[in-house]
Amino acid sequence: MTEVSVVVLTRNEEENIADCLDTVQWADETLVLDSLSDDATVEIARSKGAKVRERRFDNYALQRNAALEMASSDWVFFVDADERVPPDLADEVRQAVGRADLDGWWVPRRNYIFGAWIRHAGWYPDYQLRLLRRAKACYDERREVHELVELDGEAGYLRNPLVHYNYSTVKEFRQKQDRYTDLEARMLFESGQRARPWNFLLQPLRQLFWRYVTLRGYRDGWRGLLLSLLMAYYELVRYWRLWRLKRA
């Protein structure tokens, strides 16, 4: 049977890591790559039988590439600390890695946001390229956020989803989006893009229409509306920060 390493990247995840690791006990190796947490993450991970390595965080792509080097199995399955692997998905992963014709697999995610499964507005099926043949995959280190896998081969699609307990409160959503928009604005700036006056109006409106109407966010009730408005707002923030980078 082809072996699989589950890799979890962590930084101060003491509230999530135990429940996450409980759902990946089927893996041949569980590797936790920790970014120097100052809570009980490392101790909890070790108590669950995980192999723990520590590395100072620079960006997500570099961290994932480091984890690929540290893993010992032919296949690596990246799981976040706030995600859970249901038994049906674990079984499907075991079957998928036996395929010789594919070197990666896109995994759907079921996102729970503000206490409910969000089925629209771009949050489902939310495919992530997470199951990788280690020798054929690496991450583009020019992208500091929303990492991009460079796969030397073909990828398939799994049916069973990861369960992702994403944002529980608006405060948590805003904290994460503040970090993401900083990184995204810098990536846009370094790629040569610049903010234009019309971007401050048109980009948020396009984001709102796309999320709420095109992707049918309205079908998720008030949560779909709130998420669409928040994503539109952070589209404005991204271009505002891009404009400030040019001035600086």
pLDDT (0 to 100) of residue 217: 98
More confident residue, 1 or 13: 13
Domains and CATH numbers, the chain: 4-165 (3.90.550.10), 170-247 (no CATH)
- Encoded amino acid at 81, one letter: A
Using alpha carbons, select from 34, 45, 64, 243 the residue that is nearest to residue 148: 64
pLDDT (0 to 100) of residue 144: 73
1 exposure class (CB count in 10 Å sphere: 0-12, 13-18, 19+): exposed
pLDDT tens figures, 8-38: 999 999 999 999 999 999 999 999 999 999 9
- In whole numbers, what is the pLDDT of the chain averaged over residues? 96
pLDDT (0 to 100) of residue 12: 97
Helix residue ranges per DSSP H, the chain:
17-22, 41-47, 60-70, 87-96, 170-190, 199-209, 221-247
Residue 59's Cα: distance from chain center in Å?
13
pLDDT (0 to 100) of residue 238: 94
More confident residue, 120 or 183: 120
- pTM for the model stands at 0.92
pLDDT tens figures, 152-164: 999 999 999 999 9
Residue 145 has pLDDT above 80, yes or no: no
Band of pLDDT at residue 247, cut at 50, 70 and 90: confident
Residue 133's Cα: distance from chain center in Å?
18
Q: How far apart are CA 92 and CA 17, in angstroms?
A: 23
pLDDT tens figures, 177-227: 998 899 899 989 998 999 999 999 999 999 999 999 999 999 999 999 999
42 touches 131 (CB < 8 A): no
Residue 248 has pLDDT above 90, yes or no: no
Q: How far apart are CA 36 and CA 71, in angstroms?
A: 19
What is the DSSP secondary-structure string of 115-140? Answer: TEE--STT-SS--EEEEEEGGGEEE-
Residue 111 has pLDDT above 80, yes or no: yes
Render the burial of 26-60: b for 16+ CB within 10 Å, e for the rest.
ebebbbbbbbebeeebbebbeebebbbeeeeeebb
pLDDT tens figures, 32-77: 999 999 999 999 999 999 999 999 998 899 999 999 999 999 999 9
Q: How far apart are CA 177 and CA 170, in angstroms?
A: 10
Using alpha carbons, select from 77, 65, 199, 175 the residue that is nearest to residue 132: 77
Residue 15's Cα: distance from chain center in Å?
18
Q: Give percent of the chain above pLDDT 90.
A: 91
